[in-house]
Amino acid sequence: MHRLTREQRAQILNMQIEGVSIRATCRLTGRSKGAVTRLIVEAGQACAEAHGALVRDLRCEQVQVDELWAYVGMKQKRVPAERKGEFGIGDVWTFTSIDPKTKLVPTWLIGRRDATTARQFLVDLGRRIQGRFQLTSDGASFYREAAAEAFGAAIDYAQLVKLYSAASDGERQYSPPVCVAARPEPVTGNPDPEHISTSHVERQNLNIRMGLRRFTRLTNAFSKKVYNLSCATALYFFHHNYVRPHGTLTKQANGRPTTPAMAAGLASKPWTMADIVELIEEREESAKDVGARRKDRRS
């Protein structure tokens, strides 16, 4: 079986986080669809493990959270009656977070848009941050219950409730409604009114749709399996945190390329895609060791 070189793996992964579809990646690199898909899954697994181990003990002053819609397999209205309510087909939501100061994404979670998923998401967020911070979400009702269970009174929490105008018939299908007003509502503690905002996390949602083809609207590049979606998302966020220098952070550092992980004190220099490939290779070597030990025990 032909094995991809480190350079080939890095090339394919770079294309995936730059908005290139899997089929286009296959055409440009000459690799099979199965090889590209397997590599994305392996990279996502390695990135998720590395994120879980490295992104800890954060000192965030503010965090913004939001949800991003996508679908798996087919649109929700096309899901067969016998599969209605099954997670992993139709609508899925990605809960995202961002520290506006360092641009770091502390955590994310793919699931349903409900209180249970929101609670799991916020509990994981709280485990990664030390000390009190200000949390801002949109006006979704499930955030209040989830934040109360995850943090109690240990944070300053506010919601930004947005009011939208009704879209005209010609715009309703493809364009989001126009936001005509935004009302800040303090919920817990003493949130600073000047920082009750979701602008950074909403801009990040646009970056995700531009960088991950699976999230692009009105295409046939949607994910066919929810696990593959989770792996591609893990690769994207780890690359965002550790590999890609942020323009604002680089400017603040007098031109020194600076990633969100560097700004948060988690790294001393930008990683490269080759470093992510090394994470994959380390998992492969570990799997070989486990397989060898199992073989010894059987013999």
Per-residue pLDDT tens listing for the chain (299 residues): 468 999 999 999 999 999 999 999 999 999 999 999 999 999 999 999 999 999 999 999 999 999 999 999 999 999 999 999 999 999 999 999 999 999 999 999 999 999 999 999 999 999 999 999 999 999 999 999 999 999 999 999 999 998 877 765 555 555 667 778 889 999 999 999 999 999 999 999 999 999 999 998 888 889 999 999 999 999 999 999 999 999 999 999 999 999 999 999 999 999 999 999 999 999 999 877 656 556 666 65
**H and E: helices and strands count for the chain:** 10, 6
End-to-end alpha carbon distance in the chain: 27
How much of the chain is in helix, strand and coil states, percent to nearest 5?
A: 50, 15, 35
Neighbours of 164 (CB within 10 A): 11
Pair 65, 82: CB distance under 8 Å: no
258/60 Cα distance (integer angstroms)? 17
Are 267 and 275 within 8 A, CB to CB? no
Do 94 and 71 form a contact (C-beta atoms < 8 A)? no
Q: Mind listing the pLDDT tens digit for each residue in 21-34?
A: 999 999 999 999 99
Q: Dig out the tokens for 282 from the structure.
A: 């380390």
Question: pTM for the complete prediction?
Answer: 0.92
Burial 130-144 (b: 16+ CB within 10 A, else e): eeebbbbbbebebbb
For the chain, the residue count is 299
pLDDT of residue 180: 80
